[in-house]
Amino acid sequence: MMEIIRNLGFFILAIGILVTVHEYGHFWVARRCGVKVERFSIGFGKALWSKYGKDGTEYVIAMIPLGGYVKMLDERVETVPEHLLDQAFNRKNVWQRIAVVAAGPIANFLFAVFALWIMFLIGVPSIKPIFESTIPNSPASIIQPKEPTQILAVNGHKVRDWEEVNLELVGAIGSKTLPITVSPLSSQSQSNADEQAVMKQGRTYQLNTENWKFDPDKESPITSLGLHIYRPKFEPIIAQVTPNSAAEKAGIQKGDKVLGVDGKPYKSWEEFVNLVQSSANKSLKVLIERNGHFIERILVPMAVTNNQGKEIGQIGVAPELPKWPENMRIQLEYGIVGSLTNAVDKTWQLTSVSLKTIAKLFTGDVSVKSLSGPISIAQGAGRSAEYGLVRFLSFLALISVSLGIINLLPIPVLDGGHLLYYIIEAVTGKPVPEKVQDIGFRIGAALLLMLMSVALFNDFSRLS
């Protein structure tokens, strides 16, 4: 319950920020073009708070936080007093109307740049994209690393961490070949000044991705491509014991070191977990080391049901988190100008990948199952906020770019649909007939409702 409340809270915060930015774009340009704005509303439905400003605009926070709107004076909506006709939106020339409509999505892109700029100024601790092996018969199997190997570029674009690799792979879905440049970690200099030299000494492989597809709900593009991500090994030292768990009942304490189970020496934490999960309600004789003394404990894993409905054993412990080697860590941090440059580049990358993904929805290379609705966004907001301000800013930038792109789609009802009509008017010199516009808006509303229904269905499917 607390997780749901937390996710909902951060969802409302994220959507509130992004909607305010979007609508303020419309509002700011409308005012500069001499249009009278009657209401600036964040949310729909019943007003929870409202106030009239000195400019005559009513500012509103409404009950349903799934959007917002800027109500401008318009003869097509209501009768406008003669002395205010010059402030009506419909009386402005076509280029002013285009500017007002386009300002909302543009504000979203500018906000993404701003959020990422702040993020890079703060600094983003991350991990270099290093893998240790590849899966046989996978697209990546032509790469046979003999040691931890770093990905330097994907599809000709430089990548610095796994997030950037992931974005490039998503953008490459549907391609027949995918070039990936890699370099063994041991051959690289520790100095950032030698970064260009490292890029030059990397080897590029052409991966055959003609039949490469993956289900985003079950796996990431990284693992589906056949890359085994390098992860430091967990030490067999207990860092946390859950109260009233099987481990606590067996007398296992924080700081204990697991040496063996049932007379067999400990090999890896993964093997230990697998043994526990397959031993529900069965006794395990665990040898531990505590303060230099060797102790045996009888451990009986409790039976629990996992997400797949399978009964597994659980003891309620967590190991010490492994430390990443220094040469595998990276801090994405820049000065004022460098942060801005990287923020613009990142925003462009997010925009490019999003546009490619939308195009591939129509070609069938990306399944409609990948569409996400408000539930998935709420979960993403909550998870990103858990990791702190830096990750939350990154999440806001991604959603802001997505919101900007979606609103620019040439679908009547959305900003892009209005822009399409105004561009036609600018080219032909005549406005699109109102009857044609009305039909377009009906079709657009139906299409938008269908997309929202699919997204919500996907959300609920992921919850089940």
Amino acid making up residue 355: L
Burial 271-302 (b: 16+ CB within 10 A, else e): ebbebbbebbeeebebbbeeeeeeeebebbbb
Give the side-chain half-sphere CA count within 13 A for 432: 17
Indicate if the alpha-carbon torsion angle 112, 113, 118, 119 is positive or negative: positive
Complete DSSP assignment for 381-421: HHHHHHT-HHHHHHHHHHHHHHHHHHHHSS-TTSHHHHHHH
Q: What separation in angstroms does the CA of 292 have from each of 235, 240, 256, 295, 369?
A: 17, 19, 10, 10, 54
User: CA of 158: how far to CAs of 24, 195, 204, 229, 349, in Å?
Assistant: 35, 11, 12, 18, 11
d(CA 461, CA 215): 13
23 is catalytic: yes
* From 3, 23, 75, 195, the catalytic residue: 23
**CA gap 252, 290 in Å, rounded:** 10
Tokens encoding 92: 């402005």
Question: Which residues have a Cβ under 8 Å from the Cβ of 376 and sit 6 or more positions away?
Answer: 455, 458, 459, 462
Which of 96, 172, 18 lies closest to 425, judged by CA? 96
What are the distances in angstroms from CA 462 to CA 42, 53, 379, 459?
A: 29, 44, 11, 5
β-bridge mates for residue 127, sequence order = 329
CA distance 64 to 48: 10
- 18-44: b (≥16 Cβ within 10 Å) or e: bbbbbbbbbbbbbbebebbbeebbbbe
Active site residues: 23
